[in-house]
């Protein structure tokens, strides 16, 4: 069986392609750099992060992009012996307007090198490239209507792409206005048995989300809706573990089995809060005698477990839980925010055996912020690091952060206080968009020795986050109150147009004086934890650290 989600943590808007015996899924990365995550599998059960192709300034520069903008809904395909990747760079999402530009990059290998981008258009987002049987190529994307008459989603546009001229050519045709559910986006085109099929995402990316299908005998339409309207949705079933299911793409295996990948979230039970973001799940689907695609399980409902395909099992080495920064290559799990110039943020060579961050702008900056982090992938997890840092000013901070966006974070920071010297403090912003009032401090500053490393830890136990610290080999000491981990979610602090990413944990350094004071991190450890009951002494939850049980 396949257990959902197959890509836990923030991995939204999946696009899937099979090349021989290999399967690849591309997902959105929004403001996180490098752009687009591509995971690899050979059995649809086991997946491994393989690459992020948009990794240089000529391909992507997100400085100034607001939260939850940037790279939306990439589409990955393979034709003519190469990979084709189209993507949106969204520069604005709030208000009537969407400033968005769509691009195409190609590569002979999934590992690159990937080309510089070809500009496509700016009429809307979620572009997808369709390779027809006659060799012609067609781009589809949502068109955005700022007039909101009758809807801001103006339909799905179709235009031919000339691969030799490297540009869109010919007329633009609006081929689909969507179902009565509305908010039609995320288009993908397919061809089968003389039909053109159009799969779209509908209902917005919240709790009304769905995968909708339509078909036509001709490419330009008209497209008739699926008799069930949707192929997949959880909007009628609040009891399901997988909610907000939608935005799908399907693939056929070597043995003609068909699987649909889609986004969904796992809101914490009893709360409409999804700190792990929109994750990628998979469902088995079948073609009916009427040539329509339907789920192989319950009609429309995303299942937690689905039958695996008839493919040989292919496992990958597990991801390392601890990184000691002993090699000059950043572990693939980590990303940073917006800038294509990482050398201004960090170095793995200036102090061997350490990750050195150069303090830049404030936490939450949309331009240059020295924050390196990885996705939170479980409701129960632990992150730990050791920091060597000598601030001389209260505008200099570095430490351990749980981060969603500029209005949603918890930050345990080493800083400087004029009265007590080097100290620990907690900065927290509890998702109160649009004011972004910082709750500071959340506890009295804790004095630290004038020099020397300090260990920092955070533990997330379902809805609560607790910071701790330790000096040398001393025991861990809690600092501050238990914080609300649920603010690190899509649904908290919605803003005008909603949030679309997920919670990260990582290392941060800020220097608002402009002197770029360095902060050296000796290691970073992250573990997903499994609950192990309650302690008989203090009645608190006990957690598993690998095979070791933590007790009070």
CATH number, domain with residue 412? 2.60.120.200
Report residue 435's pLDDT band, with 50, 70 and 90 as the boundaries: low
Quick check: helix, strand or coil at residue 151?
coil
The pLDDT score that the predictor gives to residue 148 is: 83
Taking only the tens place, the pLDDT of each residue in 12-31 is: 999 999 999 999 999 999 99
Same domain, 450 and 346: yes
Same domain, 246 and 393: no
Same domain, 148 and 78: yes
Q: What is the mean pLDDT of residues 47-56?
A: 98
The pLDDT score that the predictor gives to residue 4 is: 98
Residue 314 included in any domain? no
The pLDDT score that the predictor gives to residue 534 is: 46
Tokens of 334: 């980590």
Taking only the tens place, the pLDDT of each residue in 73-104 is: 999 999 999 999 999 999 999 889 999 999 99
Give the domain-ending residue among 273, 306, 339. Answer: 306
Whether pLDDT at 367 is above 90: yes
Q: How far apart are CA 505 and CA 375, in angstroms?
A: 6
Same domain, 136 and 95: yes
The pLDDT score that the predictor gives to residue 162 is: 98
Report residue 495's pLDDT band, with 50, 70 and 90 as the boundaries: low
Tokens of 424: 């620990």
Report residue 483's pLDDT band, with 50, 70 and 90 as the boundaries: very high
Quick check: helix, strand or coil at residue 65?
coil
Instruction: Compute the C-alpha angle 77/128/201, nearest 5°.
Output: 115
Residue 172 included in any domain? yes
The pLDDT score that the predictor gives to residue 539 is: 46
Distance, first Cα to last Cα, the chain: 37
Give the number of domains in the chain.
2
Residue 9 included in any domain? yes
Average pLDDT along the chain: 93
Residue 259 included in any domain? yes
Beta strand spans in 389-453 (E): 396-405, 408-417, 421-430, 446-447
Taking only the tens place, the pLDDT of each residue in 325-335 is: 999 999 999 99
Q: How far apart are CA 397 and CA 309, in angstroms?
A: 50
Lowest mean pLDDT among 204-208, 278-282, 356-360, 472-476: 472-476
Give the domain-ending residue among 277, 306, 335. Answer: 306
pLDDT higher for 310 or 493? 310
CA-CA-CA-CA torsion sign (176, 36, 48, 255): positive
Report residue 549's pLDDT band, with 50, 70 and 90 as the boundaries: very low
Same domain, 24 and 149: yes
Residue 312 included in any domain? no
Same domain, 491 and 517: yes
Which residues have C-beta within 8 Å of that of residue 219, sequence separation ≥ 6? 132, 138, 158, 175, 189, 196
Give the domain-ending residue among 238, 271, 306. Answer: 306
Same domain, 393 and 474: yes
Query: What is the span of the domain harbouring residue 448?
Result: 322-549
Q: How far apart are CA 335 and CA 34, in angstroms?
A: 7
Choose among 545, 356, 353, 386: nearest CA to 473.
Answer: 386
Residue 175 included in any domain? yes
Whether pLDDT at 220 is above 70: yes
Same domain, 98 and 233: yes
The pLDDT score that the predictor gives to residue 297 is: 87
Active site residue 368: yes
Residue 501 included in any domain? yes
Same domain, 301 and 394: no
Choose among 201, 205, 198: nearest CA to 185.
Answer: 201
Backbone angles phi, psi at 277, to 5 degrees: 75, -165
The pLDDT score that the predictor gives to residue 533 is: 46
| Active-site hit among 160, 361, 368, 525 | 368
Report residue 151's pLDDT band, with 50, 70 and 90 as the boundaries: confident
Query: What's the CATH number where 85 sits?
Result: 2.115.10.20
Report residue 279's pLDDT band, with 50, 70 and 90 as the boundaries: very high
The pLDDT score that the predictor gives to residue 523 is: 98
pLDDT higher for 536 or 511? 511
Taking only the tens place, the pLDDT of each residue in 401-421 is: 999 999 899 999 999 999 999
Whether pLDDT at 158 is above 90: yes
Same domain, 276 and 425: no
Whether pLDDT at 551 is above 90: no
Same domain, 127 and 270: yes
Report residue 436's pLDDT band, with 50, 70 and 90 as the boundaries: low
Same domain, 112 and 250: yes
- pTM beyond cutoff 0.85: yes
Residue 317 included in any domain? no
């Amino acid at each position: 069986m396949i257990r959902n989600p197959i890509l836990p943590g923030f991995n939204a808007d999946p696009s899937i392609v099979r090349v021989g015996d290999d399967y690849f899924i591309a997902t959105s990365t929004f403001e996180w750099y490098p752009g687009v995550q591509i995971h690899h599998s050979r059995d649809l059960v086991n997946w491994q992060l393989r690459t992020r192709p948009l990794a240089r300034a000529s391909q992507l520069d997100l400085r100034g992009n607001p939260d939850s903008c940037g790279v939306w809904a990439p589409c990955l395909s393979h034709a003519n012996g190469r990979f084709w990747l189209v993507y949106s760079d969204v520069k604005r999402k709030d208000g009537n307007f969407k400033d968005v530009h769509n691009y195409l990059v190609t590569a002979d290998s999934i590992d690159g090198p990937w080309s510089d981008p070809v500009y496509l258009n700016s009429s809307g987002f979620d572009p997808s490239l369709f390779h027809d049987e006659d060799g012609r190529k067609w781009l589809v994307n949502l068109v955005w209507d700022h007039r909101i008459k009758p809807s801001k989603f103006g339909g799905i546009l179709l235009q031919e792409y000339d691969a030799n001229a490297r540009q869109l050519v010919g007329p633009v045709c609006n081929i689909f206005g969507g179902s009565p559910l509305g908010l039609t986006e995320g288009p993908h085109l397919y061809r089968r048995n003389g039909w053109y099929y159009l799969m779209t995402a509908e209902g917005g990316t919240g709790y009304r989300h769905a995968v909708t299908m339509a078909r036509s005998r001709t490419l330009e339409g008209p497209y008739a809706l699926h008799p069930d309207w949707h192929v997949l949705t959880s909007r009628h079933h609040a009891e399901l573990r997988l909610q907000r299911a939608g935005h799908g793409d399907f693939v056929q295996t070597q043995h003609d089995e068909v699987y649909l990948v889609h986004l969904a979230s796992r809101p914490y039970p009893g709360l409409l809060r999804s700190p792990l973001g929109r994750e990628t799940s998979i469902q088995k689907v079948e073609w009916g005698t009427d040539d329509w695609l339907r789920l192989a399980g319950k009609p429309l409902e995303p299942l937690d477990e689905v039958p695996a395909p008839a493919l040989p099992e292919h496992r990958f080495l597990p991801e390392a839980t601890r990184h000691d920064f002993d090699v000059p290559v950043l572990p693939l799990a980590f990303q940073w925010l917006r800038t294509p110039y990482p050398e201004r943020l960090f170095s793995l060579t200036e102090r061997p055996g350490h990750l050195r961050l150069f303090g830049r702008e404030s936490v939450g900056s949309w331009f240059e912020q020295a924050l390196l982090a990885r996705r939170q992938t479980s409701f129960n997890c632990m992150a730990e690091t050791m920091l060597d840092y000598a601030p001389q000013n209260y505008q200099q901070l570095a430490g351990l952060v749980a981060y969603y966006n500029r209005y949603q974070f918890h930050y345990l920071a080493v800083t400087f206080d004029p009265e007590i010297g080097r100290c620990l403090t907690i900065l927290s912003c509890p998702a109160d968009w649009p004011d972004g009032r910082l709750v500071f401090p959340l506890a009295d500053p804790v004095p630290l020795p004038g020099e020397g490393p300090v260990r920092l830890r955070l533990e997330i136990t379902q809805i609560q986050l607790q910071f701790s610290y330790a000096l040398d080999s001393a025991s861990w000491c809690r600092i501050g109150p238990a914080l609300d981990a649920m603010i690190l979610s899509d649904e908290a602090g919605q803003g005008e147009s909603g949030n679309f990413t997920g919670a990260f944990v990582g290392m941060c350094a800020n220097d608002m004086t402009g002197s770029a004071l360095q902060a050296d991190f000796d290691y970073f450890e992250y573990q997903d934890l499994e609950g192990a009951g309650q302690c008989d002494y203090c009645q608190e939850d006990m957690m598993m650290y690998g095979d070791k049980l933590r007790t009070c």
